[in-house]
Structure 1
């Protein structure tokens, strides 16, 4: 019997949507592994590194080049929309209002794990096979260091909702810290991707974006909320296209496209619904395509050892940085520990960040795999570590 590409695509889609959900629901993993984490892990298992290696016939039959091409198209658009929403939700006005506390905390929460991650990168890149063929040494060090400093703002929001602190004062503070760091992360990524050979294109992109963003903001003020959604998607696709043409990657363009738009223009409730629909319907495809990039070519033990080193640098650096901020700002006992552990969660944004580095050949697939494992472990640690600390902190209040 001949199976068409359409049928293979739908088989793959069924697997992508069903397997993680069943694992999450049947084994009730939500305490240590939210559904998004299970989806990421499922992508790794379903990819060529695990099931594909154990059962190559299964992998080669279902995940044909045509099917992978179709899935990649969905994944590109899914992650662009997701990053766009993260940009829209940045509240720089709130960060400016409490700028001293926000600046001190966000700076230390970013710089300390960045330095720890960069130190780990220096050790890792001293061995062959970890720096990509198109990557300069400084790009590898800065890229891996920044990957250790990332806070996944969308996942942080989901975890804060689970812990019932999102709408409370502590939750809003965490949003300010993470939002400022989010902006810095994408700025550093743009710096990493700066290409001397494409400097003219990148300068043209900057000129285009400033002028186009001014015009877009003026237009959005005149439109109804429904029209704003349609126009915003066109704006998103256009910014992604021009950023990729300039060599800055389409995800940088997607984030910038969201940053210049005001959250109030779209409605907080509709943004939450939109983000939820993206997570439910198309982001699982992105997670699978991420799993397809995992590689154990450097040896399983080597990848796991590097992942453990990066996890120590990431978690230790973030918690230490926030502890220093707490000392400077005079926070009460236990507060810095809760904030530090929540801010160290990685998952989506770090995976997106590492995807860009891999796309540009700055890191290798085995470096990407180590970063992916670090991001999953970081996120799985968050709720179990924070829950007792938060209970103790609120009980002492």
Structure 2
């Protein structure tokens, strides 16, 4: 008796999801046991399910678990997950209660994190162009992509570490969070321009895409945001979402993602801008986070990590030239962000211990760089080899953030905790 094709696809997708969630749960738990964030374990789980380990040890089992027809489904689920996650990141940014001069100091810290990493990454990209780039990608575009990827900071991870220590509203915490948000916004702008240039065949072809993207952001922040304020006030007053409000907070980021995807700058940009357009009331932000983060982080993000892992071929890094190239990229990213931010913090009047602690946190790239490089791979801007190298950069810088932070600023030297605000936690 013939099996319905749709049912056959479901019977292939469900086992894949079950294995993905099981691996994410186990690796996430192991990461927490060694004092690392759960998301690091989930990232590693995705890599292990790819050709690096599972596909190497049991190639037939991996091919049966992740056949070709299942991968588009994983891609769709991961895109929805990323769009909603970036929506929560945008909605979780706290722009209230700044002290005098805080934006200026945060901007200085952000520039110190962006510019050295961008310049070192750009130079490294130019140096490694012949070895790592696709032949149809110009040197300028390739080098800017490497620099943009290395200039990212894992804002949600930084927020989580500060939240757990109740430091998110301290001068150090608020400055770091605001600077990280500026860093990431600048990196997404770089990627948006690169995507527009790549898909539009040069700067001239990219101008309509850039213009439409700016118009979209303006409409969301000037027109849509005021329309959402009554909903935010109602949720803040009751502390919960009714059915109508839930439809709104799901439809707005998905619609925004569809629009930006149609424009040509990928759905995650729409999700992030939709989050920025959400009401800023702390009670609304906390209720939104509590309602959505578990589904997004537990179900959808592990799918994204696995989809990334299926594209990560660490075997391509074998050989002296490739290992040296990876070392140069890792060094460029680490030195630019860690020491750039530390020097800036010292210049802003903080002690060296606090300065190096912030440098360690700002150096983590976590999920953000994975989103960045997946877009580059999907749009044909980078090779599989560079993708694998940057996945390793994401894992290593994320793994090093908390140990380096604790080394620079042990718990006994941390400032006294303050009452926390509604900050997004992954």
Equivalence for 1:214 = 222
* Residues 370, 28 of structure 1: alpha-carbon distance in 2 compared, 3 angstrom cutoff: closer
- What TM-score do the two structures reach when normalised by structure 2? 0.84
Equivalent residue, structure 1, for 2:238: none
* CA distance in 2 between partners of 1:354 and 1:96 (Å): 35
Q: Contact conserved, 1:117 with 1:313, CA < 8 A, in 2?
A: yes
Do structure 1's residue 383 and structure 2's residue 383 form an aligned pair?
A: no
* Structure 2 unaligned spans of 5+: 236-240, 417-426
Tell me the residue number matched to 1:67.
70
* Native 8 Å contact 1:354 1:371 kept in 2: yes
The C-alpha deviation readout for 1:254-304, integer Å capped at 9, x for no partner, is 222222333327723223322243112211111101101112464424554
Does structure 1 conserve the Cα–Cα contact (< 8 Å) formed by 2:346 and 2:352? no
Map of 1:358 onto structure 2: 377
| 1:109 aligned onto 2:117 | no
- Residues 1-397 of structure 1 mapped to structure 2, 5 A cutoff: 4-25=8-29, 27=30, 29-31=32-34, 33-93=36-96, 97=100, 98-127=102-131, 130-132=132-134, 134-194=136-196, 195=200, 196-197=204-205, 199-223=207-231, 224-225=234-235, 226=241, 227-264=244-281, 267-273=284-290, 274-296=292-314, 298-301=316-319, 303-391=322-410, 394=413
Inter-CA distance 208–20: structure 2 relative to 1 (3 Å threshold): closer
TM superposition shift of 1:222: 3.0
The alignment's C-alpha RMSD in Å is: 2.7
CA distance, structure 2, for counterparts of residue 169 and residue 265 of structure 1 = 19
Quick one: distance in 2 between partners of 1:277 and 1:304? Answer: 38
Distance 1:207 1:322, change over 3 A: closer
Change (3 A) 1:33 1:328: closer
Q: Give distance in 2, aligned partners of 1:166 and 1:159.
A: 9
232-241 vs 304-313, greater mean Cα deviation: 304-313
In structure 1, runs of 5+ residues without a counterpart are none
| Counterpart Cα distance in 2 of 1:187 and 1:343 | 19
Which piece of structure 1 moves more, 133-142 or 160-169?
A: 160-169
Aligned residues: 394
Task: Give me the whole-angstrom Cα distance separating, in 1, the residues matched to 2:182 and 2:214.
Answer: 21
Report how far residue 365 of structure 1 moved: 1.5
Once the 2 structures are TM-superposed, how far is the Cα of residue 185 of structure 1 from its aligned partner?
Answer: 1.5
Counterpart CA distance in 2 for 1:84 and 1:96 is 26
Give the TM-score taking structure 1 as reference length.
Answer: 0.90
